[in-house]
Structure 1
Amino acid sequence: MTQSLADLILRPLLLPLLLLAGVAGTVIVGVNRNVSTAQQVTASQERLNLLTDIQKDVASLENGQRGYVITGQESFLQPYTQATADFQAHTEALRQRSTIALQQENLNRVVALMRLWKITSAQPEIRARRISLTNAADLVSTGQGKRQLEDLRTVLTEMQDREAERQKTAIDNNNAALQNVRLITLTGLLLGMGLMLYAALRAARTVQESVTFLSEGAQEIAAGRYDLRLPETRVRELDMLGGQFHRMAEAVQRREQEVEETTRALQNTNADLERSNRELERFAYVASHDLQEPLRTIGSYTELLGKRYKGQLDERADKYIDFTISATQRLKNLIQDLLAFSRVNRLGRAFGRVDTAELAQQVRAELDAKIGQAGASVEISPLPTVRGNTELLHHVFLNLIANAVKFRSPERPAKVRVWAERFNNGQGGQGWIYHVQDNGIGIEPMFFDKIFEVFQRLHGLGEYEGSGIGLAVTRSAIEQHGGKIWLSSVPNHGTTFHFILPDEAPQEYPNA
């Protein structure tokens, strides 16, 4: 079936565009659910905090009342009186935040038990103590007040346990939903990009085949096969061009027939025929050459579409954009880091002489904005020229210096120092040991090996940016030089990364 060039390119893209729109809708649903769950978790935490405050109020009431009974000093009734007011305020606040009937019922039990304790135990004991210690001791010895408070604390503990369970359930459901959204989003994006690539390759192959047929047929027509009819292609514009070839061939053929009438006409016709043949060949060449440009344009614009596509939302969804930007950026960064890790581990890297002093200065210039923003200082001592791969060593210095600035202590300005010293292990191994030292937050010894693994992070996503791939890239780059990396660190005082670049670096890294 013949179709226009625009249909050939755009129609196959409809499915991946719809798929990506579905992914955008899934992300919006996931964000809405995450916001709702976050509100539930926050409300639950507020109720837990209030339950804890009530526990403290009960303890203060009991301590104040017992203190007065034991000592008879009126000063002990001051915390008792304050705790009474705090208990009332906290229970009222909890009542306003309780959303289910069971919570209200249990809260009523707590208030009732407290009232019972005060009426039947606390206040009688206080009145008895004002008369004599013996009278108060007789009342305390019955153990009634203690039992009442134990019952009250039991109810509070049950309420805390149920609230904690509801909070955990909400968090678990939210994590599961986010995991599903993440999986659907990643799958949809990969599938959409795959379909776009497939559509682009299919359109390119169709156009290329059509152009090839047209070019070959035009060359045969130019060679004298004027009765040749070019096969129809799947592209309407190319079929129209083929029709032009046919009309040109028919014109040439008519001229040849007219040449037979007279010798002079034959000579003129032959001249016209030669001229027409040259024009036909030139036209075929130009057509064959120029039709490659649309093919390259198709590939370039399709690739640009795949790279620059993102979901288009209406104005009513603008308020969700802020929630999606962060996840989208992480995700982008994760993919870039994965590509960097893949490039670092590719086969067949060439090694040569690398001026690490110049390379470190270049990395510092690249990080100048982050260094200035952090108020950090980076001191680079004279560094040697070694045998290595510039791209790999660039990753090493970039990751180590960037981490030193990023994981700075909030208590002091960040200071980073880079230097190197000669290495000789006494067994024929020689080279240079590099040190990258900072005065940042430091690392616990139990994590020294873990941080070099892919996707291993010691902090939550909201604390520090990054995907947990940088140090894995660094270790891989150094190992490809035949070296090794390790660290020493004191928590809250700083970290020093050490790595060895041996003199006998490989000529080419054969197997990453």
Structure 2
Amino acid sequence: MAAPASRPPDLAPATAPRRRAGRPSLRSFLLRPFLLPFTLLLGVGVAVTVGVHRNEDQLRLVSDAQTRMLLLNDLNTQLSVMENGERGYVITGDPDFLAPYREGDAAFRAAVFALHDLSVTDLQRTNLARVQSLVLRWQEDAARPEIAARSDSLAQAAKLVQQGKGRDLLNDARDIMSVMRTNESGRLSAATTASQSTLATVRTLTVGGLLLSLALLLLTAYRVTRTVTHSLNDLNAGATDIAAGQYQRRMPVMPVRELAQLGEQFDIMAAAVQEREQALRESAEALRASNTHLERSNRELEQFAYVASHDLQEPLRTIGSYTELLARRYQGQLDERADQYIAFTTSATQRMKTLIQDLLAYSRVRNAPRATQPVDTAALVRDITADLEQQILSAQAQVTAHGLPVILSNPELMRHVLQNLIGNALKFRDPTRPALVQVSAERTRHAGQDRWVFHVQDNGIGIAPEYHERIFGVFQRLHGMDEYPGSGIGLAVTRSAAEQLGGQLWLDSEPGQGSTFHLALPVVTTPDLPEPTPPQEKHA
């Protein structure tokens, strides 16, 4: 189909230096053009960082100035509160007016202390000290004497007020605070203007630098991508030709060292693919023949097992019948060893009969039709417990069922599964306690799919974890025939039936703790399926 390679793979190393000579590496080819834009971006970043730090300093100055302005306003307010409280007491003589006076005095002192800590100039601290001194003089020379005089008489207090000494002191203090506010307002305005100027400079540098960097980046990216895209298109065209079977195709010379190496590898691969493609065709043909042979062998083996099991029943019935006749007619007439031989033959015949029937059941399950219909699993369990009534009575067992739904499934295969699981639960019971078997179901969601999970739980002898998979094999037994009868094929039939139903079968068990077998079946939606029937029990 494909043309042979024109150059063997072992010639590639000799031509490699010629094709890669003088080629820059891909890293150098991609990064070198971006050096200038990235340097510019770095410069913009440094400038923005410096501007941001400077703006932070300006904003801190603005914040301090605003705080000092608030404290100056608070000083003026508390001074008015103190004056109004003192005047109110002098006029009314009501001691309640002294409370605002004392509170204003405390707040005034706190504001003076805070403002002193935030002061930035010696003049501001000097003015603050002058204000504090004037207010203290007002308290000592006017407020306190007037308050003391008012406690004696209103006329004496009014005489002191008329002298106007206290008013002059407070007016002087207010004038100084007005000057302080004016100065602080100037500092606030200067800090705000400086901050705005810094922000404008940072904004200009950022926008201009980013635009210039972006333009350089776009230009550089365009040139780099154009070169790389052209080279990759050449490689892609060559790879497409090789994929189409043109193994004589050779890659063009690439401008980048790594791409040149890739082209060389494509050339080497072209020759190798041709050989492997031929080998793959031969292997695929052999595999198809093997699969066809295997499928035919499996069908013949299943057919042989079914026919052989079916045909063996007739001679086995004959052997069993004649052995039973010998036992009835000559029991006690021959020696003890002859009776023992007859008993062994009868027992072996019965075991062989059971084995053949199990093989037939296994073959039927493997080839069972996939037809489905609504199956009332609760009614099915009642039928099974009725069939197993003798075994339930002899085991003094209790079988309960609840929450069992009506599902769309194959009734024969469902019977195989549930009857085998319930029968095993009765067979492998713990002799030290009454057997309890519980059958239940729940609707769950697993891997995005709804499914019904049936549980058959018992309190029997249990199964060690290392045997949880082994017991599902054909003819696998964990106990001798003298302990528990059976052919060892029942659970293999059960799992095969579960798989035919499109489900899964597994168990949880520990020795001495009983076993729980789980059957998971996909939910098949169909209209008007009845609801699950109420729970039922079967007692010994």
Q: Give me the TM-score of the superposition, normalised by structure 2.
A: 0.38
In terms of Rg, which structure is larger?
2
Q: Give me the TM-score of the superposition, normalised by structure 1.
A: 0.39
